[in-house]
Structure 1
C-alpha cells in the first residue's frame, strides 16, 4: 500500500457520530492531530435536531432523552457545559399507561414515585424505595463498569468492595434475569413491573429474555436518580458542544467524505481512502464509528481478516428496525388520564402481557397489530421546541428487522400508531398541524450507521454483549488489524448516547501508541486475537 500524495493526521476517525466525536476529542486532548471524515453533510449521527413538521416546531430526529448521557462519566469528563450544553427536565420523568387507564409514574422525587406505585398494590411504594436504595449502593461503580473497556477492572473492584461476595453474586443474577421475573420479585401490583418492562423494551429484548431485567432496572433507576433530561434547545446541542470542543483543540471535520476503504499493510492500519480516491494517511491510528459489519466486511475486507472472524460475523444480529413519527400539535396532547400530561416520556399501548405479545410478534417477523409506543412530549420537557401552548410530539415503535419495507406497510403502521394515541387521547388527530414520518430506510439515509433502521448497533441480547460484542472476542475496541479500533455502538458497551465506545477506542489507541508500553500492549492484543481468530 502506498500513501504517496496523501494528506495525513495522527488519527483518522471515520464517522462524526457522537462516539466518533468523543474519540476525536479525547485524542485531541492528548495532543494528537485528528481529522474526522463524515459521509453525510452534518455531524452528530443519531444526535440531531431540525424543523421537519411545521415552522417553529423543533424535532429531535433520532434520540431525545438522555439519562445515560447525563450520568455518563465519559461525557461529564468532557465538560460540555463550557461549550453551551445545558439540560432541562420535564415535571415527571416517565409514565406508563396501562390498558385499564391507570398510569405508573416516575418523578425525580422518590416519594412521588412511591405514591404512584402504592395505588397499584399496598406496599409497592415502599418496595420501590427499597429498590432505589439498592441502586444507589451500586450506581457509581456500575456506571464506571458500563462505560469503561472490558474487562471492567476498576468498576468491578468497586462493586466487589461495596457488595462483598454475596452481594456481588446477587447482582450478577440481576444482570441476567428477565424483566418479567425481576418485576414479579420486586412488586405485587402491575405498576412497577410495567415501568421496568417498558424501559427494557427500549432495546430489542422480550420481557422473557435473559438480560432484559438489567436494562429495565438501569433506565428506571437512572430516571429516579437523575431523570431523563433533554438538552436545552434540542439534541443537536450535544453535537454542537462536541464539535465546538474538538475544533477549539485543532481537530478537523470534513463532510461529504465517505470512506470506502481502510488501507492496511503488514497487518497494520495505515490510513483510509474516500469515495473519489482521496487518501488519508494515519500516522498513529484509525478509529471507526461505523457498525462492525461495515468496518470489517466493507472497509477492511474479508481477505485481510482471519477467516474465523468473517465466519462469526455471519451470525451478527442487528436489533430491530424502527419507525419514528414526529407531529406538530396545535395544543398539548389531550390525555384522558391527566397523570401523564407532565411526563417527558410516555409508554403507551400495553401492559406486561401485552409487551410479551408485542415482542413475540416482532420475533416472528410480524407487524404488531397493537404496537407498543414510546412517546416523547418534547415541549413538556423543553418549551423551546414549539410555540407557546402547542406540543412537539414524537413516537417510535419497533419493527422486525428488514431492508425491504414497502411504503404502504409504513403508512398503515403509522395509522396504527395514531390509533393508539387517539384511544389514549381522544381528539389527538384533530390537533395535528404537521407530520414527519421516518421509516427504516429514511433513518438509514439520514445516518448510514442505522442499518435497516436499527438504532443500537446490534442486538442487546446477552449472547452479543461484553466479550461477545460484536462477535466473540476481547470485548474491547481493538481489532485484529493493528492500530485499527472499533468506536461505534457495535462495540462494548453498546447503544445509547453515553460516548463509551468512542472513549474506549480512544483509550486503546493511546495505549497502543505509548512509547514504553505500546509494543507490549500490541503483542498481548495480537496474541489474544490469534487465539480467538486462528487463521
Structure 2
C-alpha cells in the first residue's frame, strides 16, 4: 500500500470502452495513465459471459457493431494487432412483419434490392439510389460524427462535396422523422421498415424529428460494412483495448469506485474513492460516467455554476431496457425461413405498430405488444454455442424508471416470449436456459446504465450536438479546468464507436499544450462563463 496518494498524469474514471479509448490515446501521447473502475471487470457495456447454460456464450449488453467497425477512432487503434477479429451473419438484418413477410438487408446490394422489390417493384432501384446517396457522404459523415463539436473538418468536406444545395438537403434529412423519410424514399413497406426498425435502436419514435437520420445511418452502414460481431464475443473488443493499454504502461484498478472529484481553485486535482484513498492527477481527470453522476455526485453542485445545475434538472434519460438471453437446443424455428440467416431480427410490429409502441412508452406505459430487437448470435458467430444450437438474445424498451418490480419484469418477459413463439412456433420448447437482465440488473452490472438506459441520455434533437448533455456543453470540456466528460452523455452520444472517449483525450491533450493557462483554457473558460453567468 502506498503511504500517500497514488499519482498519474491522467486519472480516468470508468473502464467502459470510452474510458479505455481515452486512456489508450493518452498513453500513445506518452502520458502515465491510471484507470479506476467501480466494478470487478473492465468493459462497461462491452462484455460477454456464460450466463444461461455452460457452453453458451452471451454478450451481456451490446453485440453488433456497425459503428464500431466503421469508426475512424477504433480503426486508428489497430485493435486487430491485439486479437480482435470480426465476422458476419449471412444476412445483416431482417424486419419480420406481423403478417409473416420479411424485409431483409444483405451486404450484397442485389440481394437487398430483390427483397425490397417484393414489397414494391421499384423499391429495389430506390434502395440503390438511397445507398448511392449515402456513399457520397459516408466518409465525411462518419468523420463529422466522431470528432468534437463543432465538426469543422467533416463539415467543410461535406460542403465541398455537396455544395450548398446538397448540404441543405442533407440538413433536412438530419431532422426529418423516419416515417416521413421512408415515405419519400420508397413506395412499399419494406424499405421504410428497415429504416424505422433501425431508428428504434434509440429512444425516438417514427414520428420524432431526427429519427430518420438514425435509421438511415444504421441501415446504410449495414449495406456498406454489415453489422459485424467480434469472433468470440463482445468481450474481445474490451480485451483488445485492455491489452493495448497495458502494453503501453497504462494501469487499471478494479473495485475502485470514485465518489468525489478533488478540485482546488476551479481545477481538477484528482479523485477520491469510496475507501477514502486519494488519487492525484498531474494533468487531467477524464470521466466515463453519465453527466448527472459527474456533475452532481462527483463534483457537487457547490463547485458548479448555478445555471448548469438548473439545466441538469432537465436532462432526459433514454428509456429503460429489458434484455433476455436464451440457450436454445436448436435454431429458432421461424415460420418465414428468410429470417433464419439474419444476425439481427426486428420483430413484433409494422410501422403503425412501432408508432403505437413508442406512444405507449412516451405515456409511461408498458407496451402491451413489445417490439423486439433480437440477436441470433450463433448465426453470426458459431463459437457462441455448440454446433446446431443457438445463443439468442432479445431486448425491448420500457418507460424510464429505476424501481421496477420483479413481477412486472417477469410478466414482460412472458410477453416477449409470446412474440417469439408467434413468429417461431416451438420456440419455447427449445429453451434450455434463460437469463433475464431487467433495468436494475443492467445498472448493477454497469453503473453507467442508469435505470437500464443504454444511450447515456436521450437521442432527441434537443439533447444533441451543442445541446448534449445540456445547452453549452457540446464538447468534452467542463466548467472545471482539466476535467473532461468522456462518456456517452457527451457528443456524439451512445454507440460503441469510442468518439466521446477520443474527444475527451483530444481536449485533455490540447489543454496540456497550454500549460500556462494559454489561449485554449482562456477560450473554453470564456465560453462557459458566457453560457452560465
Aligned residue number for residue 395 of structure 2: 396
Measured after TM superposition, the shift of residue 516 of structure 1 is 7.2
Structure 2 CA distance for aligned equivalents of residues 125 and 417 of structure 1: 32
Aligned residue number for residue 296 of structure 1: 295
Aligned residue number for residue 520 of structure 1: 519
1:248 matched to 2:247 = yes
Aligned residue number for residue 268 of structure 2: 269
For the 8 Å contact 1:418–1:429, the answer to whether it is kept is yes
Aligned residue number for residue 359 of structure 1: 358
Measured after TM superposition, the shift of residue 5 of structure 1 is 2.4
Aligned residue number for residue 178 of structure 1: 177
Q: CA RMSD in A?
A: 1.0
Query: TM-score under structure 1 normalisation?
Result: 0.99
For the 8 Å contact 1:511–1:518, the answer to whether it is kept is no
Matches within 5 A, 1:185-224: 185-224=184-223
Structure 1 CA distance for aligned equivalents of residues 455 and 221 of structure 2: 19
**3-state DSSP of counterpart to 2:163:** helix
What do the CA deviations read for 1:495-528 (whole angstroms, capped 9, x no partner)?
A: 0000000000000000000047862100000000
Structure 1 CA distance for aligned equivalents of residues 242 and 418 of structure 2: 40
**3-state DSSP of counterpart to 2:10:** strand
Structure 2 CA distance for aligned equivalents of residues 273 and 417 of structure 1: 43
Structure 2 CA distance for aligned equivalents of residues 515 and 484 of structure 1: 15
For the 8 Å contact 1:457–1:495, the answer to whether it is kept is yes
Structure 1 CA distance for aligned equivalents of residues 251 and 496 of structure 2: 22
For the 8 Å contact 1:511–1:517, the answer to whether it is kept is no
Measured after TM superposition, the shift of residue 474 of structure 1 is 3.8
Aligned residue number for residue 125 of structure 2: 126
Aligned residue number for residue 111 of structure 1: 110
Structure 2 CA distance for aligned equivalents of residues 234 and 73 of structure 1: 21
Measured after TM superposition, the shift of residue 140 of structure 1 is 0.3
For the 8 Å contact 2:514–2:520, the answer to whether it is kept is no
**3-state DSSP of counterpart to 2:39:** coil
Measured after TM superposition, the shift of residue 7 of structure 1 is 1.0
For the 8 Å contact 2:23–2:505, the answer to whether it is kept is yes
Give 5+ residue unaligned stretches, structure 2: none
Aligned residue number for residue 70 of structure 1: 69
Structure 2 CA distance for aligned equivalents of residues 515 and 135 of structure 1: 39
1:154 matched to 2:153 = yes
Structure 1 CA distance for aligned equivalents of residues 300 and 233 of structure 2: 38
For the 8 Å contact 1:87–1:229, the answer to whether it is kept is yes
Structure 2 CA distance for aligned equivalents of residues 190 and 7 of structure 1: 59
Aligned residue number for residue 42 of structure 1: 41
Aligned residue number for residue 325 of structure 1: 324
Aligned residue number for residue 510 of structure 1: 509
What do the CA deviations read for 1:168-221 (whole angstroms, capped 9, x no partner)?
A: 000000000000000000000000111100000000000000000000000000
For the 8 Å contact 1:477–1:485, the answer to whether it is kept is yes
The more displaced of 309-318 and 471-480 is 471-480
Measured after TM superposition, the shift of residue 99 of structure 1 is 1.3
What do the CA deviations read for 1:130-170 (whole angstroms, capped 9, x no partner)?
A: 00000000000000000000000000011011100000000
Give 5+ residue unaligned stretches, structure 1: none
1:144 matched to 2:143 = yes
Structure 2 CA distance for aligned equivalents of residues 336 and 195 of structure 1: 20
1:53 matched to 2:57 = no
For the 8 Å contact 1:456–1:490, the answer to whether it is kept is yes
Structure 1 CA distance for aligned equivalents of residues 392 and 312 of structure 2: 38
Matches within 5 A, 1:492-507: 492-507=491-506
1:280 matched to 2:282 = no
Structure 1 CA distance for aligned equivalents of residues 179 and 499 of structure 2: 28
**3-state DSSP of counterpart to 2:9:** strand
Structure 2 CA distance for aligned equivalents of residues 4 and 492 of structure 1: 39
**3-state DSSP of counterpart to 1:531:** helix
For the 8 Å contact 1:271–1:279, the answer to whether it is kept is yes
Runs of 4+ in structure 1 displaced over 2 angstroms?
A: 515-518
Aligned residue number for residue 308 of structure 1: 307
Measured after TM superposition, the shift of residue 253 of structure 1 is 0.1
For the 8 Å contact 1:150–1:474, the answer to whether it is kept is no
What do the CA deviations read for 1:312-344 (whole angstroms, capped 9, x no partner)?
A: 000000000000000000000000000010000
Aligned residue number for residue 491 of structure 1: 490
For the 8 Å contact 2:514–2:521, the answer to whether it is kept is no
Aligned residue number for residue 455 of structure 1: 454
Aligned residue number for residue 336 of structure 1: 335
Measured after TM superposition, the shift of residue 250 of structure 1 is 0.1
Structure 2 CA distance for aligned equivalents of residues 288 and 379 of structure 1: 35
